[in-house]
Amino acid sequence: MRFKERIEKFVTRLNLSELNAYICTDASNIFYFTGLPSPATLLVRQDGSATVYTPPINHAVAEKEAPPNVEVVQTKIGSSVEVLLADILSQLGGMVGIDKLDVETHKKISGLISGVELRPQSRLIWEMRTAKDPSEIELIKEACLIADRSMRAAADLLVPGIMESEVRAELVAEIYRRGGQEPAFTPIVAFGERSAFPHGPIQKGVSRDRVLKRNDVVVIDLGVKVEGYCSDITRTFYIGSEMDEKLRNVFEAVLNAKSLAQSIMRPGVSCSYVDDMARDSLSNKGLDPYFIHSLGHGVGLDIHEPPRIGPGSQDQFMENNVVTCEPGVYIAGEWGVRMEDTVLVTEDNVIPLNSYPLDEHLIY
Amino acid sequence: MRFKERIEKFVTRLNLSELNAYICTDASNIFYFTGLPSPATLLVRQDGSATVYTPPINHAVAEKEAPPNVEVVQTKIGSSVEVLLADILSQLGGMVGIDKLDVETHKKISGLISGVELRPQSRLIWEMRTAKDPSEIELIKEACLIADRSMRAAADLLVPGIMESEVRAELVAEIYRRGGQEPAFTPIVAFGERSAFPHGPIQKGVSRDRVLKRNDVVVIDLGVKVEGYCSDITRTFYIGSEMDEKLRNVFEAVLNAKSLAQSIMRPGVSCSYVDDMARDSLSNKGLDPYFIHSLGHGVGLDIHEPPRIGPGSQDQFMENNVVTCEPGVYIAGEWGVRMEDTVLVTEDNVIPLNSYPLDEHLIY
């Protein structure tokens, strides 16, 4: 059973650390170790025993579905995190790790109990979560497949006269129809000059919707969740039979940067180096000032998770990382071009998990 | 301009506090004061001046759309929060408030700078955000209207033979078609025995989809965002012409508890008291053990925000709170019944902002 094994593997790491127990409060971490929904709190002890604390709303599910090595304890409706954590800590003593803790909660706990040090340390979990196991890779592949098909459904609608909102509606409906659990994030569908906003046309000062016109550039960025696991893909289309030279050059430059960056992702390689190389590739055409975000990010139970592939990142690639590669060039007032796939980093290769074609940008 | 005025009002509060400046890192807080998208960081000083720090991805938008009393400063791609915060603090000194801060980041900042105390204190903002102003109420009303119409679209599909996923697909598509920015959360569509899971059938051990059958109970819980503001509504339906006595009693008890609770929400009344009264009302029929969650929560830029209407809550209702009222009864293995509206608490009244009928549960 994968959840049981993950806890066992984590306990081995815990025993090598200075911590005598570890508490998870983050929904993705709890799901990773138990498959259970949040709200919940998970305690893992050095001796290998684990307890999940669940409020009544999730208790029946936890009782039925908790891994065999996890005890289930019911908490009260509305019981506060600080009281629960202080309660847990009072039985432990020593130094206890935790995945996430805000200063306000920490202060309240310190007021309730002494003699135990609560030490936030997310690294211990990320070292495991960033290297995906086979069952995780299967789910991400399925999420990528549904994303590809939803991209197809969206692209098929790109006929002048349609509204952004109609494409967004159909695209998300397709995600659910194809068996996706939910979109991994609100999809971006941006027509024309609105494609120059990397996050889509959602800010004030921009109208809520726009009609598609001939010669528009269209950016579609979507993700799908399957049993908790995310995918992420972007395609840029041109609504016409022939792009002008400037736009054609940008498409080419973005695809080149993407292909170069993907070709050098390997275990041990620094993430900031790969980002640098993508930027260098764009700078050959003077386009690097228009690449205004990081090259990519890890994808798993969270849509944005380590490693960070961007300037100044301290992360290195590891075997079985699943990450995005998504260079983009944005010319304000005109258009933006971004191409993105979710890829798997293996020992000697990079495998794109999306299969929607990269050379299909002309729609007419 | 509402954003400018909100900052001015906040500065007045800041001047009454022991803090000489305040930093917002939370996306909803930054949107509340500036209307700008995140990632971003907002600094408000006691003298009334404010600065928003935006990475390149959001810089063009910030330059164009920032309120007139907010200066815009561009940060670098991938620059770390701790370095930015340490930079900001080095120009301030004294005691500086912050909306949210995790212990790991706090520790890193303390390693970079001394002589300034960074004090997490979210209360100062929540006191403002929980009392909605007229422009916020208008947007929430619009979000409720789109939610009502999407509920209608979903209910119209409830014919034996349809799948949960098809209803979910159509419901979300309707949200986008009607002009919603996005669903406020992944909608719950739960058929039959799956309606007994308050959060919907998303956990392991439960199949991904289910067909609708005659005599099923159906719970649909959905929300819509409009320009950042959320709505939240739940309706429960019975697919047949006549419910058995047990189910009919539960529908009646849930509606009674809801109507009682709504009738006593007033400024100054304790939130836990209203939750208690709803529970008491259900206990008359022995149903309180099956009401396994809180009665409600605030709704605004976040789908779950203060006040918390549940056991042990320290919150009191304030004028112009917008909250949900959502009692439910869940019989594991059989069905669940929940009825929920988003309501506005005024000085002498409670106004439901949803208008989808509460007496329309029979579908046959």
Banded pLDDT at A1 (limits 50, 70, 90): low
Same domain, yes or no: B141 and B165: yes
Question: Residue range A131-135: average pLDDT?
Answer: 97
Question: Residue range A341-345: average pLDDT?
Answer: 98
Banded pLDDT at B207 (limits 50, 70, 90): confident
Which residues in chain A are closer than 8 Å to B311, comparing Cβ atoms? 76-78
Residue of B nearest to A297 (CA): B78
pTM of the predicted model as reported, rounded to 2 decimal places: 0.96
CA angle B198, B143, B348 (to 5 degrees): 85
pLDDT above 60 for B1: no
Same domain, yes or no: A48 and A156: no
> What are residue A236's DSSP bridge partners?
A219
Q: Is-contact B351 B231, C-beta < 8 A? A: no
Mean pLDDT of chain B: 95
Sheet (strand B188-191) strand order = B188-191, B217-222, B233-239, B362-363
What is the CB-side half-sphere exposure of residue B235 using CA atoms within 13 A? 24
Question: Of B68, B98, B129, which residue is a domain's last?
Answer: B129
Minimal CA separation from A174 to chain B, in Å = 7
Question: Of A129, A149, A177, which residue is a domain's last?
Answer: A129
Same domain, yes or no: A175 and A290: yes
Please give the structure tokens belonging to residue B185. 């959360």
Share of chain A above pLDDT 90, in %: 91
Same domain, yes or no: A77 and A181: no
Count of other CB atoms within 10 angstroms of residue A91: 11
CATH code for the domain in which residue A10 is found: 3.40.350.10
Question: Residue range B167-185: average pLDDT?
Answer: 96
Minimal CA separation from A228 to chain B, in Å = 9
Write the pLDDT tens digit of every residue in B217-237. 999 999 999 999 999 999 999
pLDDT above 80 for A250: yes
Same domain, yes or no: B163 and B125: no
Write the pLDDT tens digit of every residue in A298-308. 999 999 999 99
Same domain, yes or no: B122 and B138: no
CB contact under 8 Å between B208 and A181, yes or no, is yes
Same domain, yes or no: B32 and B73: yes
Same domain, yes or no: A42 and A190: no
Question: Residue range B15-44: average pLDDT?
Answer: 96
The full DSSP string for B8-52 is: HHHHHHHHHSS-SEEEE-SHHHHHHHH-PPSS-EEEEETTS-EEE
- Candidate from B121-130, B166-175, B199-208, B351-360 with smallest mean pLDDT: B199-208
pLDDT for B70 equals 96
CB contact under 8 Å between A77 and B313, yes or no, is no
pLDDT for A308 equals 97
CATH code for the domain in which residue A250 is found: 3.90.230.10
CB contact under 8 Å between A172 and B168, yes or no, is no
Write the pLDDT tens digit of every residue in B147-164. 999 999 999 999 999 999
Question: Of A95, A129, A163, which residue is a domain's last?
Answer: A129
Question: Residue range B246-265: average pLDDT?
Answer: 98
Share of chain A above pLDDT 70, in %: 100
Write the pLDDT tens digit of every residue in A173-220. 999 999 999 999 999 999 999 999 999 887 777 888 999 999 999 999
pLDDT for A283 equals 97
Mean pLDDT of chain A: 95
Q: What is the ipTM of this complex?
A: 0.94
Which residues in chain A are closer than 8 Å to B227, comparing Cβ atoms? 204
Same domain, yes or no: B183 and B141: yes
Question: Residue range B97-123: average pLDDT?
Answer: 92
pLDDT for B235 equals 98
Please state, in angstroms and rounded to a whole number, the distance separating the CA atoms of residues B15 and B44: 11
Question: Residue B217 sits in which domain range?
Answer: 134-363
CB contact under 8 Å between A208 and B166, yes or no, is no
Same domain, yes or no: B97 and B176: no
Which is more confidently placed, A80 or A153?
A: A153
Minimal CA separation from B330 to chain A, in Å = 10
Share of chain B above pLDDT 70, in %: 100
Same domain, yes or no: B124 and B146: no
Same domain, yes or no: A237 and A218: yes
Number of domains in chain A: 2
